[in-house]
Structure 1
Amino acid sequence: MGSDACRQGGLGAGRAGLPRLGSLRQPRGAPGRLEAALADQTVRQERLGAVQPRRGYRRAQGSRRTESRQGEGHALLVNSPVGIFTSTPDGRFLFINDALARLYGYDGAQAMIGAVTDIAGQLYADPRDRTEFARCMQNRAQVNSHECRMVRRDGSVFWASLHARAVTDENHNVLYYQGFLIDITDRKLAEKQSRLSEEKFTQVFMAAPDCIAIVRLADGHAVDVNLGFEEITGWKRSEVLGRSSVASGFWVEPGERKAMIEELNRGRDVMNREFTFRDSGGAVRDGVYSARPILIDGEPHYIFILRDVTERKQAEESLRLTQFAMDRAPDSILWVGDRGELIYANDAACSSLGFSREELLKMKVFEVDPDFPVEGWEQHKVDLKRLGRMTFEGRHRTKDGRIFPVEVTTNYIDYKGRFLGIAFDRDITERRRSQEERDKLQNSLFQAQKMESLGILAGGVAHDFNNLLQIMGVNIELLLRSIDSRHPSAPRLQTVARAVDRAGKLVQQLLFFGRKAVIQPKPLDLNREVEEAVRILERTIPKMILITRHLASKLWPVCADPVQVEQVLLNLGANAVDAMPAGGKLLVETKNIVLDTGFPGEKKDARPGRYVLMSVTDTGCGMSRETLTHVFDPFFTTKELGKGTGLGLASTYGIVKAHKGHIQCYSEPGQGTTFKIYWPALEQGGMAFEAPPQLDKPRGGDETILVVDDEPDIRELTGEILQSFGYRVISAESGEQALDIYEQRGSDIDVVLLDLNMPGMGGTWCLRELLRRNPAARVIIASGYAENGQAREALNSGASGFVGKPYQIHELAHKVRAVLDE
């Protein structure tokens, strides 16, 4: 700035000639006699001895001025509104007026002269400005409009314009500086604001994301365009300046431009009109433009502002399609706000809940979901914000109060700083129903597999148990036959015999639930079997339990094993008695029923047809849902330890399934229990009823019987029994030994009593070999296995009969005699 100030002085190089005082530009309003007043001040200073007077100059002044003129000039300087000063080159004031003192914040001229001893250090914000001022004064002898920042007494800074000249002696030595100072802070601020405003306009114009162009109205030529114009239209700035937009093909509809020009010519603004335009590549795009007429140097122009809304239009179209898709989505869609309020609901939500959209948008999510507590909403928001997405099952309540299950997938969105949850709710009523059906099928399959596995196990252990029971039972029976009924040991032997009999029934129950027991079906009148079983129950159950029968007349016959039917009724009766320790009622019902779709509530093995329904109902304590799921499981019991084997209902299940029937159980705690058994009815014209068999006293004989068993005790006892009936007995401990004996004495052997489960070749292969050697050989299978299990294969191979272990003496005698008499 100092250099500029030097140049503004207008002096040539060197110090030749003093500057004219009149060359200093006086501020507007400054007194016209300021030059004279300064000259007069110089004289006063010389008189006061402030500077060394120049003799020639003093003489010139002395000749021209009078004492009165000097006084007038001094008053002008002192009272001038412009800050006036005289200072030494080394930075001390010789004179200042009150205006300058006030400008710097001092009370008066003398106070400032006394306080300021270093002008550069005390008054200049930047001491370098003083140095530059001194340099200019040294080189040019004057400074005009030297602009710099000054510091007031209180430390505040202001801008000043400094005008001064150097006063020299005849040898051109600087004696002092004279000048005046103007506060230009307001002008500086105004210039800064103007400069900033211009810079801002330029920056905004160039940096605006919209396309902006300044166009001459007369011919449509572009005067200037911004960078946004290049980015949006694709045309470079150099390609459009001085050209008309019509020539470039910018306007897709020329009529649109014509309408705009007409409005501008009338001096009207054109605001936010949608139109289409072409970019430099010829692509048609959507836009919104505004235009305003302006004057530049008196010539009409207009500012054209364009915003490309192609992507917005596409987004709006996508939004419309998305809105349509959401409204028509098959699942319910709900938007939930920060306080749980519903702010959007699609058609499916309205349909599934039964509310109109207007009704839903006045509700909160807690009114839709009965399981969602209001107090849990804030924690739900926290969890959803943390996870971003959550899927869970809940329930919805319809307008009419119906509750149905839903799967909810909710997503969190931070929408303009606010919480927004978008929930997709799917009605899973059918899925739940299907899942329940699958669970039932799975449970049925599991139950069948479990029964099959345990049946295999039961069939295996039954053989070994029956062998042991056979030995014990026959020995006890022989002992009882050998002593008088009044013998002291007779009651004890009878007790042991009953225990063996119960053990045999336990094995039979194992075979029942595993479907391994011998089934001897025959046409039955189920009512008659019920009457027989009820008579047994009435003799055995407590008297405080009343048994009632509702038996249908003209009941269809069924094909079943009467022993096992009786076992089913006795098992169910015993189960009912245990459920009514304080007494109650036991109801047994029968009726004909035709199932069109199979067994109610079941899919597996569900065969439609004619059935006889037998129901057993008690008024006992009932069962929980959990107990019901295990009611037919083997060894499952709710009775106290030692009071139940857990095989009663399991064997019942096995018997019913073995007869191709079906059993169902209905129960609730405190509401009693009902078992429903569906027995397949015989087709019309089926087998006739058989009279109950009458067992005569076993007959003996003198035939020869080969007893084959690997258990020595069983061989010995069986031989003793047969011999007691007059038969001759030959024993073998294995299949191989039996074949050797048969090879030697086959013509003497009338019947072979053969055990199946033996070491070595086993009973089955022994049977086949015997029949190969003598197809007419008569072989009775004696086994602890079930007749329809492993024994069935032997019977199918040609065996003449079967007797199951443990057998009683009369059973064995009847079977042997029957085979011999065939």
Structure 2
Amino acid sequence: MDVASQPNSKVLERRIAELQRENELLQNALTLRKLAIEAAEFGIWDYNPMTGATSFCPRWKSMLGFENDERPSTYVTIRELLHPEDDRQVSCVIDDFLKNPEELLSLKCRFRSKNGDWRWIQSKGKVSAKEADGNISRIVGVYFDITERQMLEIDLRTTRFSFDNASIGIYRIASDARIIEINRQAAMNLGYTIEEMRNMSLFDIDPNITSEEWKALWQALLRQGADSFERSHLRKDGTEMPVEITSQLLEYDGQQFAISFVMDISGRKAAETEKEKLQKQLLQSQKMESIGHLAGGIAHDFNNTLSVIVGNSELAMRNPTVDKVAQRHLEQILSAAFRSSELVKQLLAFARKQTIKPIVLDINDTISEMLNMLHRLIGENIELTWLPCKEACRVMLDPSQIDQILANLVVNAKDAIDGGGTITIETERVEVKGTYREQRLWLKPGNYIMLSVSDNGCGMDKETQQRIFDPFFSTKAVGRGTGLGLATVYGIVKQNNGFLSVYSEINHGTSFKIYIPATEMPLRAIESGSELEKPSNGGETVLVVEDDAGILEFVEAILGEFGYTVVTAKTPHQAINRALAMAPSIDLVLTDVVMPMMNGRELSKRLEEIIPGIKCLYMSGYTANVIAHHGVLDEGVNFISKPFAGNDLARKVRQALDA
């Protein structure tokens, strides 16, 4: 090798080394381009319109679900996968592009995937080489799978009419809480125009939401894709509207937003509130019913005990050998027994086991006759206002029960007023239907006479209102009340198939409203005087049936004093045997209502079979349903409540015999 050739050899080596470095840089660049293409999720195609030669990167086949060794790989096989509706459009776009190669080739069409689904592909290309004669020899471009975006566009277009005319509010909300778009219903719900709301954000219609809360809601939407919750939106007029919101996260043109369906749930919330109120009323009613059963049972036993006290006190007082000092003591015992009896009557009224005889009366007339007595109850410092209804206010009611209702309510109102004040009594005819009942679901449909007693006194808090009808509950000082006044009112109203409500605010007074079913039956005169007549003697035979020995002894002694022949029996079976032995000489049976093995009504029927025409007088601490329905006596039933005085018993016996 000569010396002259050595420099050329070194030059060649350097050139080879440079080419190797360039090749490495090119390979690195190609690798980076490949990674970039894969990361960008698009593919590259290369097409020669002169020869039809076509090449695609592997992503093309994967977009359509084909393997690398499967077709399509040529222009012809690709056109075979084109949607028939898009074929003509694609041909026209390509022809136009070849005529104007300086423009950008842009195609959007559908191709059938391996599993038969149609995929939307967007393709953009550009001329990269031409022949010397100007013919295009190479076009290169990129393609994207835009199926999801295209379907969303189609959904948005096809649902545009539904969006605008939907009966539910629909919002499109940006991540920063801006309102991008709303439908007509959403704007109507809040009292705005669509144009006004497009310049607003959620913070304008939901003043209770903070930036932190909105960020938390948006993050939850990002994590879950959908979310549902309740909020309160503010109408243009300042009123609140409870809403239920269901949101879904969507993305369009690279922007994330929420589609929110907003339903006005004012009606549902009102119904839920009313349902909760009714549930509380049901629980209160159940509680009162349970207490009523207990009170009725206690009253029955207590009245029997009081009957023995009253009876023996009277017998002792009738004894001529008792001196004046003992007489005074006995009078005190008798007075205390009858005061206790009044408390028991109040318990019975609450338990709806009080004995009543309803008649048709005009409640306005009855109240008018009570005004003088009510004025005396409240004193001079309190003004009593009476506002009667102009129409007739007829009800079927025991007159004494109106006295009890008004006396208790007026005394309560008086105690709630510190110093001077006003008590208002008002009546009104009410037809419960439509809107009136929607606001008072606890009322049954029908015609009622509403009696209200209102005061401007100290009022009550919600907790007190929950307990005011409980027996023995009182807010008064010890010794100022028994706690039975409002319980009595409650029992009377329920006993007469009525309803009552109370509204009260601290320092703004209280209003009680009582609804009694109205009647159109003619008025009946109120019987009077007969109970005050002096009892007369008789010579008839009376069969007395009582399982309490003390009461039996007292009744036997009293009736004996009035000239009756008395036959006693401690059990119903013993009474039947007495009747069988003495028939038909027994004129009247005086029987307890509640007894072991057989009640008083069953006994009277058995005795009627033995002695046809025998008269019957019932006595009891409370009236069981065998002779009365919720304390309302059946027609023609003779009854006397325990405890009773001797003269009262003698009068009742005489009336029963003479009936």
TM interval, short-chain normalised: 0.7 to 0.9
Q: What's the secondary structure of 1:714's corresponding residue?
A: helix
1:618 corresponds to which residue?
455
Whether the 8 Å CA contact 1:366–1:372 is kept in 2: the answer is yes
1:450, distance to aligned residue in structure 2 (A):
3.9
Distance 1:577 1:499, change over 3 A: farther
Whether the 8 Å CA contact 1:459–1:786 is kept in 2: the answer is no
1:700, distance to aligned residue in structure 2 (A):
1.4
1:452, distance to aligned residue in structure 2 (A):
3.8
More divergent stretch after superposition (330-339 vs 724-733): 330-339
Q: Distance in 1 between matches of 2:356 and 2:377?
A: 26
Whether the 8 Å CA contact 1:555–1:591 is kept in 2: the answer is no
2:525 corresponds to which residue?
689
Distance 1:400 1:430, change over 3 A: same
Pairing partner for 1:718 from 555, 561, 573: 555
Q: Which has the larger radius of gyration?
A: 1
Would you say 1:535 and 2:369 are equivalent positions? no
The correspondence of residues 229-308 of structure 1 with structure 2, limited to 5 A, is 230=61, 253=87, 257=91, 260=94, 263-264=97-98, 268-274=102-108, 287=121, 288-295=123-130, 301-305=137-141, 307=143
Q: Letter of the aligned partner of 1:729 in structure 2?
A: V
2:446 corresponds to which residue?
608
Distance 1:376 1:572, change over 3 A: same
Would you say 1:757 and 2:594 are equivalent positions? yes
Q: Distance in 1 between matches of 2:650 and 2:502?
A: 42
Q: Letter of the aligned partner of 2:25 in structure 1?
A: Q
1:602, distance to aligned residue in structure 2 (A):
3.0
Pairing partner for 2:640 from 783, 791, 803: 803
Distance 1:240 1:771, change over 3 A: closer
2:381 corresponds to which residue?
544
2:52 corresponds to which residue?
221
Q: Distance in 2 between matches of 1:257 and 1:500?
A: 113
Pairing partner for 2:628 from 792, 797, 803: 792
1:627, distance to aligned residue in structure 2 (A):
3.4
Q: Distance in 1 between matches of 2:322 and 2:280?
A: 54
1:534, distance to aligned residue in structure 2 (A):
3.5
1:343, distance to aligned residue in structure 2 (A):
3.9
After superposition, the C-alpha distances for 1:150-176 in whole angstroms (9 at most, x for unaligned) are: xxxxxxxxxxx4xxxxxxxxxxxxxxx
1:587, distance to aligned residue in structure 2 (A):
2.8
Distance 1:599 1:496, change over 3 A: farther
Distance 1:503 1:191, change over 3 A: same
Q: What's the secondary structure of 2:507's corresponding residue?
A: coil
After superposition, the C-alpha distances for 1:666-709 in whole angstroms (9 at most, x for unaligned) are: 3322222222334444426x144245234210111222222221
Q: Distance in 2 between matches of 1:552 and 1:241?
A: 96
Would you say 1:664 and 2:504 are equivalent positions? no
Distance 1:237 1:641, change over 3 A: same
Distance 1:524 1:704, change over 3 A: same
1:815, distance to aligned residue in structure 2 (A):
1.2
Distance 1:716 1:614, change over 3 A: same
More divergent stretch after superposition (281-290 vs 736-745): 281-290
Runs of at least 5 residues in structure 1 that lack an aligned partner in the other structure? 1-18, 28-143, 148-160, 162-181
Would you say 1:189 and 2:25 are equivalent positions? no
Q: Letter of the aligned partner of 2:528 in structure 1?
A: P
1:751, distance to aligned residue in structure 2 (A):
1.9
Q: Distance in 2 between matches of 1:369 and 1:643?
A: 52
Q: Return the TM-score normalized by structure 1.
A: 0.68
Whether the 8 Å CA contact 1:333–1:345 is kept in 2: the answer is yes
Whether the 8 Å CA contact 1:710–1:733 is kept in 2: the answer is yes
Distance 1:315 1:721, change over 3 A: same
1:437, distance to aligned residue in structure 2 (A):
3.2
1:554, distance to aligned residue in structure 2 (A):
7.1
1:430, distance to aligned residue in structure 2 (A):
0.5
1:781, distance to aligned residue in structure 2 (A):
1.5
Whether the 8 Å CA contact 1:222–1:240 is kept in 2: the answer is no
Distance 1:607 1:341, change over 3 A: closer
1:714, distance to aligned residue in structure 2 (A):
0.7
Q: What's the secondary structure of 1:807's corresponding residue?
A: coil
Q: Distance in 1 between matches of 2:634 and 2:110?
A: 97
Q: Letter of the aligned partner of 2:298 in structure 1?
A: V
Whether the 8 Å CA contact 1:210–1:229 is kept in 2: the answer is yes
1:814, distance to aligned residue in structure 2 (A):
0.9
Q: Distance in 2 between matches of 1:522 and 1:513?
A: 20
1:215, distance to aligned residue in structure 2 (A):
1.4
Whether the 8 Å CA contact 1:368–1:396 is kept in 2: the answer is yes
Q: Letter of the aligned partner of 2:3 in structure 1?
A: L
2:360 corresponds to which residue?
523
Pairing partner for 1:500 from 337, 361, 364: 337
Q: Letter of the aligned partner of 1:692 in structure 2?
A: S
Q: What's the secondary structure of 2:529's corresponding residue?
A: coil
Whether the 8 Å CA contact 1:474–1:808 is kept in 2: the answer is yes
After superposition, the C-alpha distances for 1:474-500 in whole angstroms (9 at most, x for unaligned) are: 233344455799934555544433332
1:772, distance to aligned residue in structure 2 (A):
2.3
1:743 corresponds to which residue?
580
1:210 corresponds to which residue?
43
Whether the 8 Å CA contact 2:221–2:248 is kept in 1: the answer is yes
After superposition, the C-alpha distances for 1:285-309 in whole angstroms (9 at most, x for unaligned) are: 7553424151589995112536365
Q: Letter of the aligned partner of 1:775 in structure 2?
A: P
Q: Letter of the aligned partner of 1:513 in structure 2?
A: F
Q: Distance in 2 between matches of 1:764 and 1:270?
A: 107
Runs of at least 5 residues in structure 2 that lack an aligned partner in the other structure? none
Please tell me the root mean square deviation across aligned C-alpha atoms, in Å: 4.5
2:511 corresponds to which residue?
674
Would you say 1:26 and 2:7 are equivalent positions? yes
Q: Distance in 1 between matches of 2:423 and 2:395?
A: 23
Whether the 8 Å CA contact 2:227–2:248 is kept in 1: the answer is yes
1:367, distance to aligned residue in structure 2 (A):
1.9
Would you say 1:360 and 2:197 are equivalent positions? yes
1:571, distance to aligned residue in structure 2 (A):
1.1
1:819 corresponds to which residue?
656
More divergent stretch after superposition (656-665 vs 736-745): 656-665
1:527, distance to aligned residue in structure 2 (A):
3.9
1:167 corresponds to which residue?
none
1:515, distance to aligned residue in structure 2 (A):
2.2
